[in-house]
Amino acid sequence: MRLDVVTIFPEYLDPLDVSLVGKARASGRLDVQVHDLRGWTHDRHNTVDDTPYGGGPGMVMKTGPWGEALDEVLADGYETGARGPVLVVPTPSGRPFTQELAVELSGRPWLIFAPARYEGIDRRVVEEYATRIPVVEVSIGDYVLAGGEAAVLVITEAVARLLPGVLGNAESHRDDSFAPGAMADLLEGPVYTKPPEWRGRGIPGVLLSGHHGRIARWRRDEAFRRTALNRPDLIERCDPAVFDKKDRETLSILGWSPEPGGRFWRRPDGVEE
Ligand code: ADE
């Protein structure tokens, strides 16, 4: 996969040299090119922003440098054989970034990121490139960052670990929380490793039992508990057909009841942990 990032803070992307993404780059599975947007300015001050039409606070990134940068990145990529580009524009007004979108992006051969600073990029840039290539505006959460670079790091890490050969164990992302088809879209439960005792705290006995069926059952119950506590919206969204008898018992203990349609909702007097 090829990744291009156009930014006014190239050094912000230095973490792409580290850990899993760094290794994917070193092994050639990921070709990352970071470009300084100011390289496409032509004035003494390397200006990339200007005041917004219609007034208001902050500054808006100018069309000129972005247009020249994206034209050149596209032309260079095509020249070196890259195909199927998608322009990814991080913005709090974008489509929520989910595991589903990460899987979708991991299937594309070439991502071009356009992280903005200030109040965003002049709208005409997105409109222009959307006539040529797929453009996806992506939000990594309901909060406002000072710029899109941190979002590029988040999206890249989530996408890179899905690429073939990047995670050591191909099974590793099958059980990810939010993996498509993950058991009833539950969060993952707690995990433990050696030593068997630490500061007086032991390991849940079932994990030492060697009994695979009971371990799987326990993991599922724990996943339910965590999901019901931290993400009740995921339980409410679940098709109740995926809940077995024990799941229903666990939910009931946690304060959930089936409604006539079969979906679960949380009783107002629900038992707190
Ligand atoms: N830029 C600023 N805030 C952002 C967010 N929440 N997601 C993606 N890009 C952003």
Q: Of the candidates 174, 171, 157, 164, which has an alpha carbon nearest to the alpha carbon of residue 27?
A: 164
Domain count, the chain: 2
Is 184 contained in some domain?
no
In sequence order, what are the beta bridge partners of 95? 138
Q: Are 3 and 150 in contact (CB under 8 A)?
A: no
Q: Which of 114, 133, 161 is the last residue of a domain?
A: 161
Q: Is 34 in the pocket of ligand 1 (CB under 6 A)?
A: no
Task: Determine which of 3-12, 98-107, 162-171, 207-216 has the lowest per-residue pLDDT on average.
Answer: 162-171
Which of ligand 1's atoms lies nearest the C-alpha of 148? 1
Catalytic residues: 92, 119, 161, 176
Is 186 contained in some domain?
no
Burial of 272: CB neighbours in 10 Å, binned 0-12, 13-18, 19+: exposed
Same structural domain, 14 and 125: yes
Same structural domain, 153 and 211: no
- Strand, coil or helix: 71: helix
- Strand, coil or helix: 118: coil
Is 167 contained in some domain?
no
Same structural domain, 94 and 209: no
Is 103 contained in some domain?
yes
Residue 248 has pLDDT above 70, yes or no: yes
Computed over its alpha carbons, how large is the radius of gyration of the chain?
A: 23
Q: Is 180 in the pocket of ligand 1 (CB under 6 A)?
A: no
Nearest-CA residue for ligand 1 atom 7 is 139
Q: Residue 172 C-alpha to ligand 1 middle, in angstroms? A: 28
Same structural domain, 140 and 207: no
Is 221 contained in some domain?
yes
Same structural domain, 14 and 146: yes
User: In the numeric block, which tokens belong to residue 239?
Assistant: 């098709």
Identify the CATH number of the domain in which residue 82 sits.
Answer: 3.40.1280.10
Task: Determine which of 13-17, 129-133, 223-227, 236-240 has the lowest per-residue pLDDT on average.
Answer: 236-240
Is 273 contained in some domain?
no
Same structural domain, 12 and 101: yes
Is 203 contained in some domain?
yes
Same structural domain, 147 and 236: no
Per-residue model confidence as pLDDT tens digits over 120-135: 999 999 999 999 999 9
Q: Of the candidates 245, 242, 237, 246, which has an alpha carbon nearest to the alpha carbon of residue 264?
A: 237
pLDDT for the residue numbered 273: 47
Q: Which domain holds residue 243?
A: 197-266
Mutate to test the pocket of ligand 1, among 12, 91, 105, 137 (most ligand atoms within 8 A of CB): 91
Q: Residue 63 C-alpha to ligand 1 middle, in angstroms? A: 20
In sequence order, what are the beta bridge partners of 5? 34, 113
pLDDT for the residue numbered 269: 66
Q: Which of 113, 133, 161 is the last residue of a domain?
A: 161
Q: Is 105 in the pocket of ligand 1 (CB under 6 A)?
A: no
Residue 16 has pLDDT above 70, yes or no: yes
Q: Is 145 in the pocket of ligand 1 (CB under 6 A)?
A: yes
Whether the ω angle into residue 195 lies within 30 degrees of 0, i.e. cis, is yes
Is 177 contained in some domain?
no
- Per-residue CA distances from 91 to 10, 95, 138, 139, 157 (Å): 18, 9, 6, 5, 17
Same structural domain, 230 and 103: no
Mutate to test the pocket of ligand 1, among 12, 95, 145 (most ligand atoms within 8 A of CB): 145
Same structural domain, 137 and 227: no
197 C-beta neighbours (distance < 10 Å), count: 9
**The model's pTM:** 0.91
Q: CA-to-CA distance for 104 and 206, rounded, in angstroms?
A: 37
Same structural domain, 206 and 157: no
pLDDT for the residue numbered 160: 97
Same structural domain, 34 and 105: yes
Which of ligand 1's atoms lies nearest the C-alpha of 144? 3
Same structural domain, 50 and 116: yes
Q: Are 246 and 236 in contact (CB under 8 A)?
A: no
Confidence of residue 73 (pLDDT cuts 50, 70, 90): very high
Q: Which of 161, 187, 210 is the last residue of a domain?
A: 161
CA angle 46, 48, 53 (to 5 degrees): 140
Mutate to test the pocket of ligand 1, among 7, 117, 121, 143 (most ligand atoms within 8 A of CB): 143
